[in-house]
Structure 1
Amino acid sequence: MTQAMDFDGQTSCATADGVTQEVYALLAQANLCRIRGNWPDAIEKCMAAMRMDPQSVAAHGLLGDIYENKGCLDDAIQWYRMALDINPDSPADHQKLERLLIQKSRILDRTKPAAAPPSPVAAVAPPAEQKSGWVRDPFKTLRVTAFSSAALVLAIVIVAMLVSHSHGAGNAAQSQIATPPVVLTSDGLTPSNDDAHGGLSDVRETVDERLLTGMRGDSDLTGHDVSVTDVQSDPRSGRATVTILIAAKDSASLNRDTVAEAILRAAHSAMRLTDPASYTDFTVRVLIPSSSDASTASGAALAALADISRANQAVLDADIAQLTPAQRQQMLTHTWWAGSVLDTPIS
């Protein structure tokens, strides 16, 4: 089932920013395909419009609408976020992103298993004869009380002996206990020394901060003129999105092969720094500086966008430089290239 899209508001903003009539026509055709439920043609026409205008907020937002109508909420959320990266003041994309996040949260709440209600325990009253028997025989009550007291004293002595024995064994084996490795987990927290001693610190670093710091210190990236500008992770879907900046020494050194190699190196760095059980997919956004200062993301243009699965980590662990251009391209999925920046295809 398709829904009507507020496409007029999106395109009017894009036209004011200088989008050509050809881009507008492609987006209009993509929106028509979306309404008819023709998802492949709708996505392809949006991609064609983005190749002409990589900074088109309308194209990014329309892709979010397409994936939302298609039922792919995670993909729709990613495209709305990218639209807001380009224009943080877009109220329509803000509303759509907030609506999808609330919808996804409700879906997750509905899928949680409900706690089983406690089974009622019927109170059974003692038989009338037994109750009256206790009243008629007070000596029986004294005998039961004495027996219960003796059993309680014996139990206390046995527990004290067991505690004393286990304490001694624990001291003897304390030196053999190894400290577990610290890894990034899906809840965004890492264990600390304070936690091991009673939780003295309430401050926790998020996965994004730890991952961003780790990747910025990765010599495999800095040694190839690749810097990490941003990291966004979603433990619920097991995906991390990394934005990198390639500081090319000259425009001739930039082609789809060198950019694909940078994407693989960034994804490989993120794979090594995250928990394999929690993060299985990675999205890499590539920026290329358009100003004279190639060391900053100021004025940089979006050049490429691609996904890569952790299933390729074993190949990346070997040597990325030894891969052929075709092998690098085969590892990337949902690849998008900015035609105005990288026109040279991979043979």
Structure 2
Amino acid sequence: MEDEINALLSRANLARVRGNLAEAETICHTAIELDPTSADAQSLLGDLFLAQEKHDEALHCYSLATELKPGNASFREKRDKAVQTRHSRLLAAQQAQVQAPKPPPAAPVAEKKPPRPRWLIAILVGVGGIVMLLLGIWLGTTLAHRNDLVPIKTPATVGREN
């Protein structure tokens, strides 16, 4: 089985050199399915993830490889470098967030008043016109029949007859 795993890892390395990272990743997963204890397959998969800037996945693979072969200095170095890279990226992201220019405060939004109903104004003007018309008619009829009114006798009008 070890020969089969080594053949798969050689194919994965060849795919990686040719720039076909997806194929190399698939081959590594196949090798890991055949032998989950293959530290070399985990390490190569970590290299592929690192090439794709998938730092968390790379760190996971390097950690597994280190657990499977604790005496392998290369696996430990890769894991430690992945930890440092991850830490540096987190610090850089935090610093960028702190140093980023803050957007200006948003201008206060003015309250929109509801539009005045124009139909109400038209009704009020119409009613006012009708009232004025009726008042005019009433005054006109009242003044037209003024001769029908009986004059009131006051001291100033006593002695004067119409």
Same fold (TM over 0.5): yes
Quote the offset at 1:84 in angstroms: 1.4
Distance (Å, rounded) in 1 between the aligned partners of 2:36 and 2:92: 38
For structure 1, which runs of at least 5 residues remain unmatched after alignment?
1-18, 117-347
Name which of 8, 14, 21 aligns with 1:39: 21
Quote the offset at 1:83 in angstroms: 1.0
User: Where do residues 25-174 of structure 1 align in structure 2 (5 Å cutoff)?
Assistant: 25-111=7-93, 112=95, 113-114=98-99
Larger strand fraction of residues: 1
- Answer yes or no: is the 8 Å Cα contact 2:66–2:79 preserved in 1: no
Distance (Å, rounded) in 2 between the aligned partners of 1:47 and 1:101: 23
- 1:34-77 alpha-carbon deviations (Å, 9 max, x no partner): 22221221111112212222211100111000100111000000
- 1:80-125 alpha-carbon deviations (Å, 9 max, x no partner): 1111121111211110111111122222222222399xxxxxxxxx
- Answer yes or no: is the 8 Å Cα contact 2:66–2:75 preserved in 1: yes
User: Where do residues 194-233 of structure 1 align in structure 2 (5 Å cutoff)?
Assistant: none
Quote the offset at 1:20 in angstroms: 2.3
Are the structure 2 counterparts of residues 21 and 105 from structure 1 closer, same or farther at C-alpha, using a change threshold of 3 Å?
A: same
Which structure: larger Rg? 2
Match of 2:36, SS state, is coil
- Answer yes or no: is the 8 Å Cα contact 2:62–2:78 preserved in 1: yes
Distance (Å, rounded) in 1 between the aligned partners of 2:100 and 2:4: 56
Distance (Å, rounded) in 1 between the aligned partners of 2:2 and 2:39: 13
TM-score by length of 1: 0.27
Identical columns (%):
31
Distance (Å, rounded) in 2 between the aligned partners of 1:37 and 1:67: 13
Distance (Å, rounded) in 1 between the aligned partners of 2:64 and 2:82: 15
Match of 2:19, SS state, is coil
Distance (Å, rounded) in 2 between the aligned partners of 1:46 and 1:115: 40
Q: What one-letter code is carried by the residue in structure 1 that aligns with 2:74?
A: A
Distance (Å, rounded) in 1 between the aligned partners of 2:90 and 2:31: 34
Q: What one-letter code is carried by the residue in structure 2 that aligns with 1:114?
A: Q
TM-score by length of 2: 0.55
- Answer yes or no: is the 8 Å Cα contact 2:50–2:58 preserved in 1: yes
Larger helix fraction of residues: 2
Distance (Å, rounded) in 1 between the aligned partners of 2:12 and 2:54: 17
Q: What one-letter code is carried by the residue in structure 1 that aligns with 2:9?
A: L
Question: How many aligned positions are there?
Answer: 98
User: Where do residues 4-15 of structure 1 align in structure 2 (5 Å cutoff)?
Assistant: none
Distance (Å, rounded) in 2 between the aligned partners of 1:75 and 1:115: 28
Distance (Å, rounded) in 2 between the aligned partners of 1:43 and 1:52: 14
Match of 1:81, SS state, is helix
- Answer yes or no: is the 8 Å Cα contact 2:42–2:64 preserved in 1: yes
Distance (Å, rounded) in 1 between the aligned partners of 2:33 and 2:80: 27
Distance (Å, rounded) in 1 between the aligned partners of 2:47 and 2:87: 19
Runs (4 or more) in structure 1 with deviation over 6 Å come to none
Q: What one-letter code is carried by the residue in structure 1 that aligns with 2:68?
A: I
For structure 2, which runs of at least 5 residues remain unmatched after alignment?
102-162
